Chain A
Amino acid sequence: MTVRKTHRTPLALVAGAAALVTLAACDGQGTTGTESSTGAAGGPIKVEASDTACTVSANTAAAGNVTFEITNKGAKVTEFYLYAEGDRIIGEVENIAPGLNRRLIVEASDAGKYQTACKPGMAGNGIRGDFTITGGAPKQADANARKAAATKSYADYVANNTAALEEQTGKFVDLVKAGKVDEAKAAYATTRVYYERIEPVAEKFGDLDPAIDVREADLEPNQQFTGFHRLEKDLYVTGLKPDSPQIADKLLTDVKDLVAKSKTLELTALDLANGAKGLLDEVATGKITGEEETFSHTDLWDFQANVDGSKGAIASLRPLLQERDAALVSTLDKEFANVQGLLDKTRVGDGYKFYNQLSQDEIKAFASAVDALSEPLSKVAEVVSR
């Protein structure tokens, strides 16, 4: 009555098993696992397991993915384990039948002492062997050391630029006070370069940055127009005014103050990352629009300086970034080079074209190159704070 249907049950099971066999057999033409690269240098570590021994071909490996190729030469089914300290299982393969090769890929990211174990008969504590993972993901201490190295290196960069800033500002102020307008104009852009390179640092000191670098368009009500841009207006537009010398003196005082304060500044790696990005934002909002140097049109000098400063911060972070995200570093290199290439095209003698000499197409090209660089730069902070 129901015999036929009853038989469908086992038949289907057998068919299922047969399908499994067939399918897997068809797949056999693929690359064998032994050839697949796993990032471990020197290929997989061979483990020869028998009923009484567990021979591991290497007892150290670099951190990362470690591949073991286990062959069971014994008569008993065996297991292979990789233990971290305290017998924490990092990885295991069970059911290694006699004659079988099995592969175990483990991710061992921490340097330290490990143990390999074969368990013939899948029982007991197994035949242990010591195993060492070297190098590897930086321990927090290493990361901290790298961050310290980065901030130290950037501090040197800042110190070099602030020293130059103080010296150049002194000369520029003297020219202004002596009424030498043409020479002061010539010194204006080249002095500002040192300021623009380290602008994120300057911004750390509350009122100093506005006093030195405020633009006329951004003045708050009742705020006095001082600093570089006030002198820029005097030199390029209105001619020197009676209070220009005082403004010049104040500028030098503020700059000296800034330089003194920057020596005591404790920056973090994250500050560097944010600063590198901040400088590019400055370019996008101020220099590409021509708003920064609205009287002198020397925006491209500032542009170059901002890019240099951003590069300086990234250069300091480079070892850390290289370790954590090498792909990001090469993207940054490429985009920096792209922006620099465009800047180089606008070079005139020792300087650059003035902003009002740029074509719309050139400005567009700058804008898109800066955007393309901003994108990877915005990822740096995340990588640094990992």
Chain B
Amino acid sequence: MLFSSALIGLREGLEAALVVSILVAFLVKTERRHALRWVWPGVGAAVLLSIAVGAVLTYTTAQLSFEHQELLGGSLSIVAVVFVTAMIFWMRKASKSIAAELRGKMDDALDVGPMAVLLLSFLAVGREGLETAVFFYSAVQTAQSDTVQPLIGFAIGIVAAVILAFLLYKGAVRFNLAKFFTITGVLLVFVAAGVLGYGLHDLQEAAFLPGINTLAFDASDALPETSWYGALLKGIFNYSQQTTVLQAIAWVAYVAIVLPLFLKPSKKTAPVPAAAAAPKE
């Protein structure tokens, strides 16, 4: 009881925190700390909005029809993919400029508007925020009337997700800059592919797109989402045990297009000089 709720919390928390932690690591790593103050308003706005809407849906007779809810989640996911993709290429550009001149050029490449940082943070958290908030409220209500276990489990899961995201961040900032770009970039490619598939799946559930029952594979037995490793996979890569054909095609297409583009060697792939590497702690 506790464990399965914790997994849900972990999964939902990771979905939200992962992109944010990479973004934060990125800003810290590239000495753009002043942009950090735009991360938290984005995250905060998404959390508050989810909480507020969740409360309205839970405690009043107001309701969002199922289709609208899925349309909202699905559309936000697809917008999030656009932003994450932009971030991926922005990182690539930045990583290329490292070899050239460590500072001046980099500042240009990273001259990203506060709005972009804010929106990316908002979307990363907000796209699944509503569903999570509604889950959370029902756990609260159950805690009042019946058992407190799901609520505790959920909280444990969220905390675990935050710790994991923090560790990821800590790990990420250890790498030297070039490696950091490559690793987080590749990671983000897979994350974005997952978010894209997930968003399309939502739109299929809302019957906005066809083919909800046309499955590419069903790994419910081999790799269930309810296992800890399944939950991690879902949290990080938006793995779904029942993947529709549309979802699979979108995922493969995205990875097949974006990953080579990201990894494509530029004309001068000079190894990054040691001086550029971040000092090990």
Task: State whether A13 and B166 are in contact (beta carbons under 8 Å apart), knowing that A33-B141, A124-B220 are contacts in the complex.
Answer: yes
Contact residues in B for A105 (Cβ distance below 8 Å): 63
How many Å lie between the Cα of A103 and that of B62 in the bound state? 13
Task: State whether A100 and B207 are in contact (beta carbons under 8 Å apart), knowing that A6-B28, A10-B166, A37-B61 are contacts in the complex.
Answer: no
Contact pattern, A 86-113, Cβ under 8 Å of B = 1, otherwise 0: 0111111011011111110111000000
A-B interface contact total, Cβ < 8 Å: 156
CB of B149 within 8 Å of the partner chain: yes
**Is the Cβ of A100 less than 8 Å from the Cβ of B158?**
no
How many Å lie between the Cα of A48 and that of B36 in the bound state? 47
**Is the Cβ of A92 less than 8 Å from the Cβ of B28?**
no
Q: Which residues 42-66 of B sit at the A interface, judged by CB distance below 8 A?
A: 43-44, 47, 51, 54-55, 58-61, 63, 65-66
CB of B118 within 8 Å of the partner chain: no
Closest 4 CB pairs of A and B: A123-B220, A30-B59, A97-B5, A10-B166
- One of B33, B65, B147, B241 near A2 (C-beta < 8 A): B33
**Is the Cβ of B136 less than 8 Å from the Cβ of A76?**
no
A: number of interface residues (CB 8 Å): 53
Contact residues in A for B165 (Cβ distance below 8 Å): 10, 13
B77 to chain A, nearest CB (A): 15
**Is the Cβ of B17 less than 8 Å from the Cβ of A24?**
no
Contact residues in B for A88 (Cβ distance below 8 Å): 207
Contact residues in B for A122 (Cβ distance below 8 Å): 220, 225-226, 241
Contact residues in B for A124 (Cβ distance below 8 Å): 218, 220
Contact residues in B for A23 (Cβ distance below 8 Å): 51
A43 to chain B, nearest CB (A): 13
**Is the Cβ of B59 less than 8 Å from the Cβ of A31?**
yes
Q: Which residues 31-75 of A sit at the B interface, judged by CB distance below 8 A?
A: 31-34, 36-38, 65, 75
Interface centre among B21, B146, B162, B207 (most CB of A within 10 A): B162
How many Å lie between the Cα of A124 and that of B169 in the bound state? 36
CB of A386 within 8 Å of the partner chain: no
B18 to chain A, nearest CB (A): 12
B131 to chain A, nearest CB (A): 7
**Is the Cβ of A76 less than 8 Å from the Cβ of B4?**
yes
- One of A9, A16, A34, A123 near B24 (C-beta < 8 A): A9
Contact residues in A for B20 (Cβ distance below 8 Å): 13
Q: Please name the residue on chain A nearest to B204 by beta carbon.
A: A89
How many Å lie between the Cα of A13 and that of B144 in the bound state? 26
Contact residues in A for B24 (Cβ distance below 8 Å): 9
Contact residues in B for A12 (Cβ distance below 8 Å): 40, 43
CB of A28 within 8 Å of the partner chain: yes
CB of A14 within 8 Å of the partner chain: yes
Interface centre among A8, A16, A33, A89 (most CB of B within 10 A): A16
A-B contact pairs, 25 of them (CB 8 A): A6-B28, A6-B173, A9-B21, A13-B166, A21-B155, A24-B54, A25-B140, A27-B55, A30-B59, A32-B59, A32-B144, A33-B58, A34-B141, A77-B4, A77-B8, A94-B131, A99-B5, A99-B142, A100-B150, A101-B138, A102-B138, A121-B224, A122-B226, A122-B241, A123-B225
**Is the Cβ of A89 less than 8 Å from the Cβ of B207?**
yes
Contact residues in A for B137 (Cβ distance below 8 Å): 24, 27
CB of A217 within 8 Å of the partner chain: no
Contact residues in B for A99 (Cβ distance below 8 Å): 1, 5, 142, 146-147, 149-150
- One of A14, A101, A106 near B142 (C-beta < 8 A): A101
How many Å lie between the Cα of A124 and that of B212 in the bound state? 13
**Is the Cβ of A20 less than 8 Å from the Cβ of B33?**
no
How many Å lie between the Cα of A5 and that of B144 in the bound state? 39
B240 to chain A, nearest CB (A): 10
Q: Please name the residue on chain A nearest to B147 by beta carbon.
A: A99
How many Å lie between the Cα of A39 and that of B91 in the bound state? 53
Contact residues in A for B143 (Cβ distance below 8 Å): 28
Contact residues in A for B150 (Cβ distance below 8 Å): 97-100
How many Å lie between the Cα of A102 and that of B138 in the bound state? 6
Q: Which residues 266-315 of A sit at the B interface, judged by CB distance below 8 A?
A: none
How many Å lie between the Cα of A75 and that of B4 in the bound state? 8
**Is the Cβ of A32 less than 8 Å from the Cβ of B5?**
no
Contact pattern, B 209-224, Cβ under 8 Å of A = 1, otherwise 0: 0001100001011001
Contact residues in B for A97 (Cβ distance below 8 Å): 1, 4-5, 8, 139, 150, 153-154
Contact residues in A for B1 (Cβ distance below 8 Å): 75, 97-99
CB of B176 within 8 Å of the partner chain: no
Contact residues in B for A76 (Cβ distance below 8 Å): 4, 226
B134 to chain A, nearest CB (A): 8
How many Å lie between the Cα of A100 and that of B212 in the bound state? 27
Given contacts A13-B162, A13-B166, A20-B47, 6 further A-B contacts (CB under 8 A): A13-B165, A30-B58, A100-B138, A100-B142, A101-B146, A106-B66
**Is the Cβ of B141 less than 8 Å from the Cβ of A9?**
no
Contact residues in A for B226 (Cβ distance below 8 Å): 76-77, 121-122
**Is the Cβ of B207 less than 8 Å from the Cβ of A19?**
no
A117 to chain B, nearest CB (A): 13
Contact residues in A for B221 (Cβ distance below 8 Å): 123
Contact residues in A for B242 (Cβ distance below 8 Å): 123
Contact residues in A for B83 (Cβ distance below 8 Å): none
CB of A17 within 8 Å of the partner chain: yes
How many Å lie between the Cα of A31 and that of B62 in the bound state? 13
